[in-house]
Each structure stands twice: as structure tokens, then as C-alpha cells.
């Protein structure tokens, strides 16, 4: 009975199961044959999703780039087909090996002004800036710290091929440009010259590498601060709140500048600094020659140790011990004993002082003076004070343009110097420090901190950035310094100060050989290596004295250059021997 019922169930139910499965299969295949429906369009008035907007933006940008690429290809094709009407007016010159001399006249960028308008001139300079867009090319040429705008427009004097050639010249390349001087419709604010040049021909004398260690514009930005004791300086910081799309300003650090010194020396401020520094040397020589001095040249290779000192660079001079001169001190005194009564020297000196500060160098230019006196060491002070007035007034008068350029990168207050120069005794200086609550031993030298404090006190009280401090304690002076007749603890010595830092050190010298030997021994220095120097006073000696200026330090302090390396063309500090 049960078996019969199961058979009946299979007979009735199985066909229904098969029919259901077959219907499901047909339904599946029918759905798969239908085309995929596109996503529903966003109804009008509804907002699109962020993803949709981004997708559409990317597609639009892609389409725009494709269009621009097609246009560029079309322009290139037109350029190839177009006839070049400027053949021979643009090219790279062959290496100049003195093949010929054409006697053409080159005009300096700084001399191009309104007097040359409508004249065709030839200039050689660097490409400071370059921008080519469409049918126009704009260049800025730079020679020293002078700049001028140059324009090339497609037409009679500039073909499309010529514009393309110009666009491929890297900045800092040296070029010869023949151009018509024109008066621009609008004033040019970005260049020193207020006229512009319209190109007639351009020839590349020397191409720069396309990638520079840093850009001249970045290295020319204003310096606002420095870290004392560390050889670094800070440039003006970009504003804290910047638009996200705004390009952040690049800071060129001092080490980077010094590692790539040739590029850094091209900046306008450096061009101006070293021209003024040259002028300081010229003014120094002018005054001294007019006052009966002659220029001498003394050895820089010295037997033994220079002046008996310890901070010397030692070397072997064949089979003898030698060193580099710390100063020409002993030799300029010996010259006076040889009857050259007023002498000076401008030359390098060497100090093996491991001082990593913002104001020390191991090699620098010393401007030395030595002269005979009749009665009193103030004869020296008065003449040296007049020399300083002559130099500083001369800088103001002769180098106004350079001063303005330097101040754009290194802002500084105008330098104040009275006539006559302020003179204070060391005791008076110590008294001013004590009154200000500053601790200073009256029988010890001033340290850097107290020098700066005293400089501020003097400026507040006397209104000057320059003064002379004299009668230093004996403890602070070398063996050849003459002691005071009224107090052997002090000497007839002096320092000159600019903006609270020392730039000159000098004194009346000891011209008595016995006193000289006594003071040499008191300092613990060997007498024998100084025998020639001492003996020069044994055959009749003139009373005399002198001093020495640090050339770099004068420029460094006059212009507030933050770090003395900015006043050294190729600095030599304890860690730098290259470039």
C-alpha cells in the first residue's frame, strides 16, 4: 500500500518540479539577453554627487589637455612649413678663442638710458629671466646688478623659429643681443633701466646648465635675522597664512650659498658689497698717500712663530719650521727703523683661531698702518679718527646706488659718526658699564657681550655708532705695547668700535730694546726668534705707533650684514677650505 502511494506521488509531483526548474532557467537566460540599462539621469534640480562632479572635472581636464596638445602639434607643423625670415639672426657662437677682433662696440647694461632711445646697440649680459608666450618673448638681461627688459615680437625682426630658439636658452646663459632702444609705454618697475630693448639679433656666447643650485631671485630675498654663534642666517619668512595654491618662498641657507659661492656672488647685494669694499680700500689708500704714507709689502712666510703667538698656522719651509703671518706688525715697525716714517699695507693675514662665530675668519684682509710720532700717542688717534671720517663720508658720497641695493637685502640703520670722533678712556667705559649694572673687571679686556652693551650705551648717550676706547689694561695687550707712564697697569693702546664691535686695534709701540725684552719675557715668549726685530731698535729708534683695520669687518658692520662671511668673497673659517 505504501509503495503504491509513493509511485502515485512521483507520477503526479515530478512533472511539476521539472516544469518549475525549466521556467526558472528560461527566465534567467531571458534576463541575460536584455541590454544593460544606463544609470538613471539626475533629474533637473537635483544635486550631483561629489564623485560625479570629480569624474566630470577629470574628463573635462583630459579633453582640454588633448585639445591643447593637438593645437601645439598644429603650431609645430605650421612652424616647420613657415618660411624663416630671421635665418642668421639667432645662433650659438663658436667657442671664442681670439679668432678675430671686429672692433664692434658693446654697451654696458647700466649705460643704457633715454639718451640712447631709437639707437641700435649691442650688449653682452646674462639672461636673468625668460618668458615666451605665443608671439611674444620677454627677457630680462643682467650685468653686475643692472637689469634691462628685452622684447621680441613675431614679425619682421623675430620669426616663430627665432622665438622657439629664445625659449630654449637657459637662464644665466651669456648672450650677445643687438637691439633697438625704445621708450616703453608703461614704466618698467622690475628693472634698474627704465628703457627696453627690441631684439634684432641674439647669439648665445655660453649656455648655462638648465638646473641651477638655487635661483638668483631666491638668493636675493631680504635677510632678516641670524643666529649668533652659529654660521647661519635667516631670510624673510613667508606669511604664515598662505593660500594653498600660492607657491612657498624658498630660503637659501648660508651653507648652500658658500658651497655655490660663484652663483651667490651674482646676486645684486653681493655685487654691491664687494664694489663698496673695493672702495673702502681705495679711500683708505687715498687718505694715507695724501698724508705722506707709502705702501709696503711684507712677508707672509715667517720663521718660527709670528709675533711669538700660539694661534698660527705652522708649516715646513723646506727643512725649517715656519708659519703664516698673523700680521705685518714686526716688519712694519722695522720699516720705520729703516727711516720710512709713514707706511701702510693692505694684505691677507692668518689666524688659527677655532672660533665658529658670526664675526671671525681664519684669513682676512688687514689694512695696517704704522707711523712715527713726535710727543704723544694721541697724534695717532687724531689722524686715524680723520681717516675713518674720510672713509665713511666717502662711502656715503660715492656709493649711494650700492648702499640702496645692499639695504634691500640687508636692512640697516644709517651709520652715525661725529666730527671729531668721540674718544673715551677704558676706565670711562668700565664706569659706564658699572653704572648700567654690568660686571666688568677694570684690569681685564672686554668680552664680546660687554663690547655690544657698551656700544649701545655710547649710542644712547652720545648719538654715535663709532668711538675710540683707549688706555687698555696691560693684561689685555701684546708685548710690544707701550705702558702708561702714570700707571704701569694700563697701556697707550686703543680700539675703534663700530656698532658695538671692534674694527681696529692699535697702540704706541715699545721702541726701547731693553724694555721690549723685559715685556717679551713677562709674556713667556722666547726671545731668540725675535732677535732681528729687537736688534732693529738698537741703532737709534723713533717713537712710533700704529693700528690695523679688518677690511671685511668694516663692511660687515657698516652694512649690518649679519654674518662676516657675507663680506668675504671666498670665506675661510675653521670648517671651510673650499671653494
Q: Report how far residue 55's alpha carbon sits from residue 389's, in angstroms, rounded to the nearest whole number.
A: 73
Q: What backbone torsions phi and psi does residue 239 show, to the nearest 5 degrees?
A: -60, 140
Q: What backbone torsions phi and psi does residue 578 show, to the nearest 5 degrees?
A: -135, 155
Task: Enter the DSSP assignment of 368.
Answer: E
Selection from 114, 193, 195 nearest residue 147 by Cα: 193
The length of the chain in residues reads 579
CA 196 from chain centre, in angstroms, equals 28
C-alpha cell at 328: 705685518
* Strand bridging mode 146-153 / 174-182: unpaired
Q: Please give the full DSSP string across 524-577, using - where no structure is assigned.
A: T--SGGGHHHHHTTTT----EEEEEEEHHHHHHHHTT-SSGGGG-SS---TT--
> Hunting for cell 700717542 — which residue is that?
377
Q: Which of 266, 358, 359, 544 is catalytic?
A: 359
Peptide bond preceding 116 in cis form (omega within 30 of 0): no
C-alpha cell at 214: 638655487
Is residue 351 flagged as an active site residue?
yes
Q: Report how far residue 328's alpha carbon sits from residue 198's, in angstroms, rounded to the nearest whole number.
A: 55
* Strand bridging mode 301-303 / 294-295: unpaired
Is residue 502 flagged as an active site residue?
yes
Q: Which of 360, 398, 459, 572 is catalytic?
A: 360
Bridge partners (DSSP) listed for residue 422: 467
> Hunting for cell 677650505 — which residue is that?
577
Q: Which of 153, 407, 505, 572 is catalytic?
A: 505
Check: CB of residue 159 under 8 Å from CB of residue 198: no
Q: Please give the full DSSP string across 75-124, using - where no structure is assigned.
A: HHHHHHHS--TTTTSEEEPPP-SS----------GGG-SGGGTT-EEEEE
Is residue 360 flagged as an active site residue?
yes
Selection from 178, 114, 116, 119 nearest residue 150 by Cα: 178
* Strand bridging mode 466-470 / 136-143: unpaired
Q: Which of 351, 470, 471, 544 is catalytic?
A: 351
Q: Report how far residue 391's alpha carbon sits from residue 537's, in angstroms, rounded to the nearest whole number.
A: 33
C-alpha cell at 497: 668700535
Q: Please give the full DSSP string across 337-352, using - where no structure is assigned.
A: HTT--EEEEEEEEE--
Is residue 353 flagged as an active site residue?
yes
Q: Report how far residue 218's alpha carbon sits from residue 260's, in angstroms, rounded to the nearest whole number.
A: 14
Q: Report how far residue 443's alpha carbon sits from residue 519's, in angstroms, rounded to the nearest whole number.
A: 17
Is residue 187 flagged as an active site residue?
no
Report in angstroms the alpha-carbon separations of 329 from 200, 369, 504. 59, 9, 14
Q: What backbone torsions phi and psi does residue 553 show, to the nearest 5 degrees?
A: -70, -35
Q: Which of 201, 553, 565, 576 is catalytic?
A: 553
Q: Report how far residue 498's alpha carbon sits from residue 506's, in angstroms, rounded to the nearest whole number.
A: 15
Bridge partners (DSSP) listed for residue 140: 129, 149
Is 214 in a helix, a strand, or coil?
coil
Q: Which residues are catalytic?
A: 351, 353, 359-360, 502, 505, 553
Amino acid at each position: 500500500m505504501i509503495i503504491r502511494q509513493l509511485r502515485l506521488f512521483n507520477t503526479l509531483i515530478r512533472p511539476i518540479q521539472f516544469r518549475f526548474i525549466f521556467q526558472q532557467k528560461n527566465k534567467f537566460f531571458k534576463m541575460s539577453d536584455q541590454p544593460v540599462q544606463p544609470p538613471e539621469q539626475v533629474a533637473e534640480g537635483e544635486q550631483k554627487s561629489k564623485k560625479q562632479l570629480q569624474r566630470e572635472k577629470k574628463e573635462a581636464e583630459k579633453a582640454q589637455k588633448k585639445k591643447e596638445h593637438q593645437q601645439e602639434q598644429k603650431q609645430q607643423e605650421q612652424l616647420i612649413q613657415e618660411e624663416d625670415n630671421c635665418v642668421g639672426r639667432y645662433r650659438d657662437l663658436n667657442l671664442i678663442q681670439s679668432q678675430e677682433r671686429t672692433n664692434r662696440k658693446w654697451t654696458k647694461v647700466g649705460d643704457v638710458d633715454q639718451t640712447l632711445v631709437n639707437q641700435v646697440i649691442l650688449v653682452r649680459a646674462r639672461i636673468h629671466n625668460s618668458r615666451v608666450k605665443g608671439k611674444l618673448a620677454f627677457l630680462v638681461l643682467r650685468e653686475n646688478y643692472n637689469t634691462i627688459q628685452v622684447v621680441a615680437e613675431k614679425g619682421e625682426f623675430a620669426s616663430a623659429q627665432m622665438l622657439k630658439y629664445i625659449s630654449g636658452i637657459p637662464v644665466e646663459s651669456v648672450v650677445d643681443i643687438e637691439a633697438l632702444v625704445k621708450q616703453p609705454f608703461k614704466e618698467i618697475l622690475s628693472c634698474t633701466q627704465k628703457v627696453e630693448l627690441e631684439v634684432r639679433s641674439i647669439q648665445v656666447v655660453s649656455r648655462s646648465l638648465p638646473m641651477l643650485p638655487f635661483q638668483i631671485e631666491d638668493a636675493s630675498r631680504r635677510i632678516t635675522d641670524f643666529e649668533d654663534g652659529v654660521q647661519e642666517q635667516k631670510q624673510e619668512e613667508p606669511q604664515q597664512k598662505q593660500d594653498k595654491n600660492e607657491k612657498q618662498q624658498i630660503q637659501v641657507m648660508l651653507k648652500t650659498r658658500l658651497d655655490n659661492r660663484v652663483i651667490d656672488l651674482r646676486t645684486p647685494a653681493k655685487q654691491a658689497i664687494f664694489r663698496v669694499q673695493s672702495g673702502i680700500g681705495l679711500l683708505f689708500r687715498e687718505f694715507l698717500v695724501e698724508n705722506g704714507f707709502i705702501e709696503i709689502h711684507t712677508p707672509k712666510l715667517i720663521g718660527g712663530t709670528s709675533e711669538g703667538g700660539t694661534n698660527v698656522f705652522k708649516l715646513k719651509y723646506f727643512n725649517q719650521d715656519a708659519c703664516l703671518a698673523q700680521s705685518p706688525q714686526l716688519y712694519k715697525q722695522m720699516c720705520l727703523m729703516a727711516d720710512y716714517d709713514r707706511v701702510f699695507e693692505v694684505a691677507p693675514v692668518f689666524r688659527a683661531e677655532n672660533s665658529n662665530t658670526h664675526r671671525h675668519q681664519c684669513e682676512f684682509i688687514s689694512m695696517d698702518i704704522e707711523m712715527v710720532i713726535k710727543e704723544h700717542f694721541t697724534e695717532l688717534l687724531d689722524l686715524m679718527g680723520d681717516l675713518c671720517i674720510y672713509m665713511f663720508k666717502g662711502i656715503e658720497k660715492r656709493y649711494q646706488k650700492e648702499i640702496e641695493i645692499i639695504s634691500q637685502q640687508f636692512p640697516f640703520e644709517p651709520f652715525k659718526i661725529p666730527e671729531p670722533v668721540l674718544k673715551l678712556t677704558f676706565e670711562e667705559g668700565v664706569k659706564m658699564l658699572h653704572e648700567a649694572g654690568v660686571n666688568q673687571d677694570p684690569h681685564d679686556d672686554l668680552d664680546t657681550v660687554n663690547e655690544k652693551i657698551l656700544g649701545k650705551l655710547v649710542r644712547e648717550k652720545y648719538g654715535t655708532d663709532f668711538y675710540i676706547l683707549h688706555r687698555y689694561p696691560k693684561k689685555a695687550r701684546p708685548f710690544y705695547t707701550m705702558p702708561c707712564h702714570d700707571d704701569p697697569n694700563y697701556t697707550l693702546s686703543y680700539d675703534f668700535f663700530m656698532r658695538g664691535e671692534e674694527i681696529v686695534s692699535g697702540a704706541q709701540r715699545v721702541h726701547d730694546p731693553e724694555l721690549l725684552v723685559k715685556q717679551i719675557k713677562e709674556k713667556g715668549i722666547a726671545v731668540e726668534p725675535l732677535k732681528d726685530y729687537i736688534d732693529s731698535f738698537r741703532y737709534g729708534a723713533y717713537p712710533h705707533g700704529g693700528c690695523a683695520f679688518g677690511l671685511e669687518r668694516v663692511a660687515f658692520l657698516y652694512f649690518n650684514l649679519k654674518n662676516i662671511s657675507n663680506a668675504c668673497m671666498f670665506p675661510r673659517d675653521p670648517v671651510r677650505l673650499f671653494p
